[in-house]
């Protein structure tokens, strides 16, 4: 099983470019099912979850061709709507295929999705199922956790989300795109990836308004056409590299990013003594002469503090002076990884499954670790880069799921990191 070997404490500096957003690509690729005409995508991150998405599409009968940096997806030849459990079980993103398949074939068969184990009860999909029923579909759970969703006819829905969910919002928005009539979705998630998905579908002839606000209206069409689309920059990669620079007190320029998408983090960093300047698509991290100050955070749906940046932020707080309360409100198990950070020398008290208190500053020391999920994985890489000594991080498939050529980009900053098969 491949692992990273990292020797920490090196001085880091230079430029790092941000890849296309994983959590945008994982929706735009399944959205190809909504149209029988070809779609052309650019700035796709070359990561495991995107490869898995392509495998699912090809298994369903789609054709995928690469033209330099662009990928062309043709789904005219799609010939089935039953998802292969071996493929669907590898990542949470597989859930994004259900809505478009239902809209196109009026029937879908799929296994409960896999992916990170950070959510309660193995990443529930009750909101998705309730949403499909709102469109007139019937759901049968067959033995072995297979779902069969069927609809004689799908009709527009007026649906209020009982809980704000990013992928459930995206799934219903996609499904409604080709259900003729007016669908209104309320209490929607507002992540930038949702707005990007709506913008993309609108270039293909969809009529979606309100994406990025709590109420989204979709004027469903009989069909939508072809489209070309550049995937937006990954805001979680951006935030992770900003935090790395702050933790290492390094002069690093982060390119091809959108600072607007991580405003909550940048506001906090400014407050605690991190120096940086920003432009339309770059962030210049500068050295600071004063110590970092601790600052509490509470994760929240966008535009609040992103839960996917909670783990890198905990590492940053080990280098700050004082105590910081980290309150993870979105997921039930997303703080369990901090046990490994404690093994590296961090002073962390778990108050309850949703809250930890970090006492800083503390020196960190290299250890043998295991990456439990991709965001804890990048946090452990950041910790290893600022720790004294050598760290081994196993199970880096979890990191490869979301970070393209990570060790190459970090080595370009002066990091001593290598991948060992
Ligand atoms: C998306 O997950 C992202 N994944 C996550 O990123 C991100 O952490 C999360 O949004 C929150 O920002 C993708 O976009 C592929 P939710 P999602 O539905 O949509 C509960 C990463 O590291 N819920 O907004 O699955 C759920 O358990 C990943 O890239 C239900 O109860 O998150 C959670 O507690 C990790 N029933 C809460 O809602 C449902 O049917 C919010 O989750 C769906 C979700």
pLDDT in tens, 159-195: 999 999 999 999 999 999 999 999 999 999 999 999 9
Is 371's C-beta closer than 6 angstroms to any atom of ligand 1? Answer: no
Is 132's C-beta closer than 6 angstroms to any atom of ligand 1? Answer: no
- CA–CA separation, 239 and 259 (whole Å): 9
> According to the model, what pLDDT value does residue 176 have?
98
Of 179, 180, 181, 224, the closest CA to residue 204 belongs to 224
22-230 has which fold?
A: UDP-n-acetylglucosamine1-carboxyvinyl-transferase; Chain (3.65.10)
Instruction: For residues 340-362, give the mean pLDDT.
Output: 97
Give the ligand 1 atom nearest the CA of 374: 22
Q: Is the pLDDT reported for residue 91 higher than 90?
A: no
Pick the CATH number of 3-19+233-420 from 3.60.20.10, 3.30.465.10, 3.65.10.10, 2.60.40.10: 3.65.10.10
Q: Which residues contact 236 (CB under 8 A, 6 or more apart)?
A: 21, 22, 23, 306, 308, 309, 375, 402
- CA–CA separation, 164 and 90 (whole Å): 24
State the virtual CA torsion across 376, 379, 385, 388 in degrees, nearest 10.
-80
pLDDT 10s digits, 213-254: 999 999 999 999 999 999 999 999 999 999 999 999 999 999
Where do the structural domains in the chain lie, given as residue ranges? 3-19+233-420, 22-230
Please, which pLDDT band fits residue 362 given cuts at 50, 70 and 90?
very high
Instruction: For residues 332-342, give the mean pLDDT.
Output: 94
Instruction: For residues 257-282, give the mean pLDDT.
Output: 98
Q: For 50, phi and psi rounded to 5 degrees?
A: -70, -40
**C-alpha 398 – ligand 1 centre gap (Å):** 17
Q: Is the pLDDT reported for residue 92 higher than 90?
A: no
Is 125's C-beta closer than 6 angstroms to any atom of ligand 1? Answer: yes
Q: Is the pLDDT reported for residue 16 higher than 80?
A: yes
Instruction: For residues 191-210, give the mean pLDDT.
Output: 98
Shortest-distance Cα residue to atom 18 of ligand 1: 165
> According to the model, what pLDDT value does residue 145 have?
73
> According to the model, what pLDDT value does residue 79 have?
87
**Residue 310 in tokens:** 């909670």
Please, which pLDDT band fits residue 38 given cuts at 50, 70 and 90?
very high
Q: Is the pLDDT reported for residue 122 higher than 80?
A: no
> According to the model, what pLDDT value does residue 116 have?
52
What is the set of active-site residues? 116
Of 193, 198, 196, the closest CA to residue 183 belongs to 198
Calculate the average pLDDT of the chain: 95
Please tell me the pTM assigned to this model. 0.96
Q: What is the largest CA-CA distance in the chain?
A: 67
User: What residues pair up with 335 in beta bridges, in sequence order?
Assistant: none
Please, which pLDDT band fits residue 151 given cuts at 50, 70 and 90?
very high
pLDDT 10s digits, 104-121: 999 999 987 655 545 555
Asked whether this chain's domains 3-19+233-420 and 22-230 adopt the same fold, the reply is yes
> According to the model, what pLDDT value does residue 143 have?
73
């Amino acid at each position: 099983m491949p692992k990273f070997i990292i020797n920490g404490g090196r001085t880091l500096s230079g430029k790092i470019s941000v890849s296309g957003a994983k959590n945008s690509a994982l929706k735009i690729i399944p959205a190809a099912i909504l149209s029988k005409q070809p779609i052309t995508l650019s700035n796709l991150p070359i990561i495991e979850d995107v490869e898995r998405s392509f495998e699912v599409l090809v298994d369903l009968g789609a054709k995928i061709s690469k033209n330099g940096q662009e990928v062309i997806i043709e789904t005219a030849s799609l010939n089935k709507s039953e998802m292969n459990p071996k493929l669907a079980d590898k990542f949470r993103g597989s859930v994004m295929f259900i809505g478009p398949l239902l809209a196109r074939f009026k029937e879908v068969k799929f296994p409960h999705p896999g992916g990170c184990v950070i959510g309660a009860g193995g990443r529930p999909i009750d909101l998705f199922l309730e949403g499909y029923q709102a469109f007139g579909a019937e759901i049968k759970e067959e033995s072995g956790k297979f779902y069969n969703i069927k609809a004689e006819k799908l009709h527009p829905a007026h649906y209020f989300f009982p809980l704000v969910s990013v992928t459930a919002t995206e799934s219903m928005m996609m499904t409604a795109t080709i259900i003729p009539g007016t669908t209104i979705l309320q209490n929607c998630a507002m992540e930038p990836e949702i707005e990007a998905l709506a913008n993309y579908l609108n270039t293909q002839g969809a009529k979606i308004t309100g994406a990025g606000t709590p109420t989204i209206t979709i004027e469903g069409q009989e069909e939508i056409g072809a489209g070309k689309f550049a995937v937006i920059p990954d805001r979680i990669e951006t935030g992770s590299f900003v935090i790395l620079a702050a933790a290492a007190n390094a002069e690093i320029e982060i390119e091809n990013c959108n600072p607007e998408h991580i405003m909550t983090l940048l506001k906090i960093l400014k407050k605690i003594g991190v120096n940086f300047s920003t432009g339309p698509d770059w962030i210049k991290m500068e050295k600071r002469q004063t110590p970092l100050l601790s600052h509490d955070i509470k994760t929240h749906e966008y535009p609040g503090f992103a839960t996917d940046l909670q783990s890198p932020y905990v590492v940053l707080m080990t280098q700050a002076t004082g105590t910081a309360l980290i309150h993870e409100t979105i997921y039930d198990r997303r703080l369990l990884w901090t046990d490994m950070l404690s093994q590296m020398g961090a002073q962390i008290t778990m108050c309850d499954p949703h809250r930890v208190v970090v006492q800083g500053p503390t020196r960190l020391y290299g250890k043998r670790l295991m990456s439990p999920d991709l965001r804890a994985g990048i946090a452990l890489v950041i910790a290893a880069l600022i720790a004294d000594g050598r760290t081994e991080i196993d199970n880096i498939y979890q990191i490869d799921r979301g970070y393209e050529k990570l060790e190459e980009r970090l080595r370009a900053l002066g990091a001593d990191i290598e991948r060992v098969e």
